[in-house]
A and B are shown apart, each in its own frame.
Chain A
């Protein structure tokens, strides 16, 4: 059976696994943003902590993904078999680009701009919301983009712990030594990664104030 024939014959399962995969990535990216963005902002207020926190996130990143999934299984609440554990692992991977890019983006705001903002009587929140986050937005978006693209790739391993997604085809194909089945997972995953990359790149550009010429 050719790849194309396989895809047509199994279109329901392909669609189901693809949507499951999108769900895994969306949920983990959402959580990574919800945790990583405030944490990155907090680090700009306590720069002394940035070394240890970003260092820790870096170390998490170096754990091989299959091993990280394995480590999480025996843990209570966040662990076990299934999608929840997979999402926890993907969040851990997504945190580094989120924290780092938020921290770097805000830290690289021109100190003169910050001084002027404070001197004009902006509150801390106004400074953050009206100035720092706006100026850092393209860098933060780039971090989200990295987290999403990695999430799509690493998400294929979620199937190893029963997390579902496009990895189901890949692991099945490996077990069956069947290229067509592997491709049924790998090709949609690659397309998803490209779509996430391209789509978020467009958002990133639209938020870049340097492109907003008068």
Chain B
């Protein structure tokens, strides 16, 4: 078996002395789509922020590609990791084109290569270039913004993608559509994905593996099939919500 891309080694994270997450031990293998599912306040977002070094563990270590996030240069680490958050956080003063091309620009890609990459990504997320490249985020619908957010996260071809409820704020129809496309996209690109959601159906639709977070602890980790069959009370409670 190859080394895990992300590994939580007995990680504990506290805010003001209160344990938000942990102790957690968890590994994510290359190419896996791990969906962390849990209620709000279960520590899901914290888990993602520990991976890209926006948060550092109080105890234990988070290893990304074998190296602790404490030792990674945070800027280098984050440029290797695509990050999509629920509010998307598109830069409101930049066009779609500039939003998507941002990390390549920070990485000093030549302009021609950035242009080509932006065009490629826009078609990948189903937004025609000539129609959308020059728009500002406030001129997009919610679903379109989500697509731009995903395209932006993929721009510099990061091997790892972190998604924090990226489809949380769109209507159910757009959401189902985005899920189908996202699944196809990740399958095609072979990225390692850690995806956070409180929606069990979304987890079942996207995951190659599901982990259940509750009260900062992992209560279940296994395939979607195993999730359906599990007798664990936390899993049962989540299944009933779906």
In the docked arrangement, what's the CA distance between A120 and B149, Å? 11
Please tell me if the beta carbons of A135 and B88 are within 8 angstroms of each other in the complex: no
Given A119-B54, A121-B106, A214-B95, check contact A113 B78 (CB 8 Å). no
Shortest beta-carbon distance from A209 to chain B in Å: 3
Contacting residues, chain A, for B102 (C-beta < 8 A):
120
In the docked arrangement, what's the CA distance between A114 and B134, Å? 22
Please tell me if the beta carbons of A121 and B78 are within 8 angstroms of each other in the complex: yes
Contacting residues, chain B, for A115 (C-beta < 8 A):
54, 85, 89
Question: Which B residues, 111 to 136, have Cβ-Cβ distances below 8 Å to chain A?
Answer: 134-136
Please tell me if the beta carbons of B106 and A116 are within 8 angstroms of each other in the complex: no
Number of B residues whose C-beta is below 8 Å from A? 30
Question: Which A residues, 89 to 136, have Cβ-Cβ distances below 8 Å to chain B?
Answer: 110, 112-123, 126, 131, 134-135
Please tell me if the beta carbons of B85 and A119 are within 8 angstroms of each other in the complex: yes
Given A131-B91, A213-B139, check contact A122 B83 (CB 8 Å). no
Contacting residues, chain B, for A214 (C-beta < 8 A):
95, 134-136, 139
In the docked arrangement, what's the CA distance between A119 and B79, Å? 8
In the docked arrangement, what's the CA distance between A123 and B74, Å? 9
Contacting residues, chain B, for A122 (C-beta < 8 A):
75, 106
Chain A contact residues: over half helix, strand or loop, or mixed? helix
Chain B positions 72 through 108: 1 when the CB is less than 8 Å from some CB of chain A, otherwise 0: 0011111101010111111111010000001100100
In the docked arrangement, what's the CA distance between A49 and B29, Å? 45
In the docked arrangement, what's the CA distance between A134 and B94, Å? 10
Interface: A46 (CB within 8 A): no
Chain B positions 50 through 72: 1 when the CB is less than 8 Å from some CB of chain A, otherwise 0: 00101000000000000000000
Shortest beta-carbon distance from A133 to chain B in Å: 10
Shortest beta-carbon distance from A42 to chain B in Å: 22
Contact of B83 among A113, A114, A119, A212 (CB under 8 A): A119
Interface: B228 (CB within 8 A): no
Interface: B239 (CB within 8 A): no
Contacting residues, chain B, for A209 (C-beta < 8 A):
92-93, 136
Contacting residues, chain B, for A120 (C-beta < 8 A):
78-79, 83, 102-103, 106, 152
Interface: B138 (CB within 8 A): yes
Contacting residues, chain A, for B134 (C-beta < 8 A):
214
Given A214-B136, A214-B139, check contact A121 B79 (CB 8 Å). yes
Chain A positions 130 through 151: 1 when the CB is less than 8 Å from some CB of chain B, otherwise 0: 0100110000000000000000
Shortest beta-carbon distance from B227 to chain A in Å: 28
| A113 closest partner in B (C-beta) | B89
Shortest beta-carbon distance from B93 to chain A in Å: 3
Please tell me if the beta carbons of A119 and B78 are within 8 angstroms of each other in the complex: yes
**Which of A114, A119, A123, A209 neighbours the largest number of chain B CB atoms within 10 Å of its CB?**
A119
**A112-B86, A213-B136 known, 13 other contacts, Cβ within 8 Å:** A110-B87, A110-B92, A113-B89, A115-B54, A117-B91, A119-B81, A120-B78, A120-B83, A120-B102, A121-B75, A122-B106, A131-B91, A209-B93
The 9 A-B residue pairs with the shortest CB-CB distance, nearest first, are A116-B89, A112-B87, A121-B78, A209-B93, A119-B83, A121-B79, A112-B89, A214-B134, A113-B89
- Enumerate chain A interface residues (CB-CB to B < 8 A): 110, 112-123, 126, 131, 134-135, 209-210, 212-214
26 A–B contacts from the bound complex (CB under 8 Å): A110-B87, A110-B92, A112-B85, A112-B88, A112-B89, A113-B89, A113-B90, A113-B91, A113-B92, A114-B89, A116-B85, A117-B89, A118-B78, A119-B81, A119-B83, A119-B162, A120-B103, A121-B78, A121-B79, A135-B92, A209-B92, A210-B92, A210-B138, A212-B93, A213-B139, A214-B136
